[in-house]
Structure 1
Amino acid sequence: MQRVTGIGGIFFKSADPKRLGAWYRQHLGVPVGDWGGALFKWGGPESTPGMTLWCPFEQDTAYMAPSPAPFMISFRVADLDNLLSTLRSEGCQVLEETEVSEHGKFGWVMDPDGNKVELWEPPAGQ
């Protein structure tokens, strides 16, 4: 079974996400959008088109909970439901909550250090 296929996103807390985004836009050329994050598209003739997100969150966000870490990595996966089932059978701490939207399917697992890891199955063609 194919598990992780790439990095879906890098999310982290910031005391001032707007200021931080403006700095990254001005000094590093990161294409920060009005929504506060950046979308990096990739792919080519030999690979499937895709994207990776970069996004600062407010310091008090609960999105990374129950992890105390100020960051979360999102991994792209090929088959979220199958992977979550496999992780449960392997004794991993899989969070019960999942999400399905026009952006794809999302699930979460805690790593041994207590970091919340997002698993993202993109919609077809992404």
Structure 2
Amino acid sequence: MAKVTGLGGIFFRSRDPAALSAWYAKHLGLAVDDWGGVRFNEDEERAGYTLWSPFTADTTYFGPGPQPYMVNFRVDDLDALLVQLRAAGIEVDERVDISEFGRFGWATDPEGTRIELWQPSA
């Protein structure tokens, strides 16, 4: 059975992501990367890490509606998990994105909240 292996990230809407990232860097000491987010618990020996990342207030990345945040879960087998979710009647986005960071899929929880599923690159 495919399963979640950790929390991959915390993503949320912001009126001004650059200013918010700068505030967190200045006041809380977060090491904000050039792309505007922070990687936590990065371990060269282990695939995956946890991200903190503000998005623009009008982002469509979180799906339709006013959802202010999206949780990203690290998973061990994205394809198998998407099949399991579909078989259980759960709404799953047909799209799977592939990047240098790994593979990404999305599903919607019972309250209508879109979640991101991430299988890191090996």
Give your verdict on TM over 0.5.
yes
CA contact (8 A) 1:68 1:115 kept: no
Q: Matches of 2:47 and 2:77 in 1, distance apart?
A: 17
Unaligned runs of 5+ in 1: none
The Cα of 1:49 is off from its aligned counterpart by 5.1
Among 41, 61, 67, the residue aligned to 2:59: 61
* Counterparts of residues 5-24 of structure 1 (less than 5 Å): 5-24=5-24
TM-score by length of 1: 0.90
| Count, aligned residues | 122
Residues 71-113 of structure 1, C-alpha deviations (whole Å, 9 max, x = no match) = 0000000000000000000110111111112110100000011
Letter in 1 for 2:73: F
Computed over aligned residues only, the root mean square deviation of the Cα atoms, in angstroms, reads 1.6
More strand by share: 1
Matched, 1:107 2:117: no
Matched, 1:119 2:88: no
The Cα of 1:18 is off from its aligned counterpart by 1.0
* Counterparts of residues 37-76 of structure 1 (less than 5 Å): 37-43=37-43, 48=46, 50-76=48-74
Percent of aligned pairs with the same amino acid? 53
Q: Matches of 2:7 and 2:19 in 1, distance apart?
A: 25
Match of 1:31 in 2: 31
Letter in 1 for 2:64: P
Unaligned runs of 5+ in 2: none
Cα 1:7–1:27 shift into 2, 3 Å? same
Q: Matches of 1:26 and 1:55 in 2, distance apart?
A: 16
CA contact (8 A) 1:95 1:109 kept: yes
